[in-house]
Amino acid sequence: MASGPDMVAAATDGRTTIRATLPGGVWVDDALIRHVDLRAIGDADEMQLLEEDVAPPASRATELLERCLVGDDVSARSLTVGDREAVLLQLRRASIGDGVDCILRCTDDSCGEYLELHISTEDILVAPYPVVQQTYSAVFDLDGRCHVIEYRLACGTDLIAAAKTAVADPHRGAAEILRRCVTTVSVDDRAIDVDDLDPRAVARISEDMAAQDPQAEIQLEATCPACGQHFSVLFDTASYLLAELEARARRLLSEVHLLALHYHWSEKDILAMPAKRRERYLDLIAAELAGVL
């Protein structure tokens, strides 16, 4: 788990910023960066998501991170998958709150019970990795043949490319990530193309990559109260956060509509207003419509 002091609040040009821990880190000029600074998500960011609702989640999450990252040292596209998950979780904690409410469905086909699970971001944040490399090696025997694979961890650019590939062929998305991240493949000292690997070898590489970037796949553990089945499900931080922000943006859009209709203010002026003051005006409108004022 990431410790609380790693996320330090500060004030920059009147905006709240946080320092988020990267479990893996980004290599910049052979130096490993383990923290990034972010500003909290604002009303304008939420409204922007409504304009991007046709884009894949990976692209939308990247755009959100790019808007919230402070400084030019690290880009959202260069963050590994695990670092993206960690940064999105810490960004959500600073912007919305620490508690996460999930609705899970029992994986037992004969049951299918829905259950609520409340977790904290601290529960699913992984501690900084003790060993971080720019490239990794997977060495294993398969059918008596020695496989040596060199690879790097997948990053935001790879996710976006895989998402585009998956639009045309949903089964090729994962293969696209492997093709982009694997740098060399040799079987019994003979170089081969990654596309020619045995599916079992592909599975071994995927397992090795996951082991080097454990924050990349967040598994939620639960026990069904109806049938007692213990199961785990994958938690996709980007999809969860985007859904939350879209719901908030729709509510905000309704508020802007009501305030503009009543006071004739511009959208820009309404969004620039502190949320608490906007809420007071909405209360006044509600009271007036109810005949209290």
pLDDT of residue 196: 92
Distance, in Å, from the CA atom of 267 to the CA atom of 44, rounded to the nearest integer, reads 10
pLDDT digits (tens, 9 = 90+) for 28-66: 988 999 999 999 999 989 988 888 777 888 889 999 999
Place of tokens 């609040």: 9
Report, as an integer, the average pLDDT of 280-288. 94
Place of tokens 């409204």: 47
Selection from 239, 207, 208, 222 nearest residue 85 by Cα? 239
Domain residue limits, the chain? 4-128+218-245, 136-212, 246-289
pLDDT of residue 15: 56
The mean pLDDT value of the chain amounts to 90
Amino acid occupying residue 63: E
Selection from 191, 154, 188, 192 nearest residue 174 by Cα? 154
Check: CB of residue 222 under 8 Å from CB of residue 231.
yes
pLDDT greater than 70 at residue 21: yes
Contacts of 279 (CB under 8 A, 6+ apart): none
What is the pLDDT confidence band of residue 73, given thresholds at 50, 70 and 90? confident
Q: Which residue has the higher pLDDT, 278 or 54?
A: 278
pLDDT digits (tens, 9 = 90+) for 217-234: 999 999 999 999 999 999
